Amino acid sequence: MLVVLPVVAMDLQFAAMPEIARDLGASVASVQLTLSAFAISFGILQLIYGPASDRIGRKPLRSSPAQTQRPSVMARAAGPSQGSMTLLQ
């Protein structure tokens, strides 16, 4: 289940990209930067969480992404511009 969530998040963002650009008054190309930021941060977190789960175990690390994701999603939703959305991604 946890493996599917990033894929679903990227697919949802693909579908909503024109509407996000329209709502923020930005170009679709600039909104695509949020997708790049998502992919880069997901890759970097894999490099961090992989060795950490080997040392600590998977169970303690399983809840930490969900706890940090909630405030980030709320901040992105309230963000005034595309730049803040990309930064918070």
28 is in which domain, residue-wise? Answer: 15-88
What secondary structure does DSSP assign to 22-88, as a single string? HHHT--HHHHHHHHHHHHHHHHHHHHHHHHHHHHH-HHHHHSHHHHHHHHHHHHHHH-SSHHHHHHH
The answer as to whether 25 is a domain residue is: yes
The answer as to whether 39 is a domain residue is: yes
The answer as to whether 63 is a domain residue is: yes
The answer as to whether 46 is a domain residue is: yes
The stretch 28-33 carries a mean pLDDT of 85
Q: What is the pTM of this model?
A: 0.59
- Name the domain count of the chain: 1
pLDDT-derived band of residue 84, with 50, 70 and 90 as boundaries? Answer: low
pLDDT at 79: 67
Is-contact 38 13, C-beta < 8 A?
A: yes
Burial of 52 (0-12, 13-18, 19+ CB in 10 A): middle
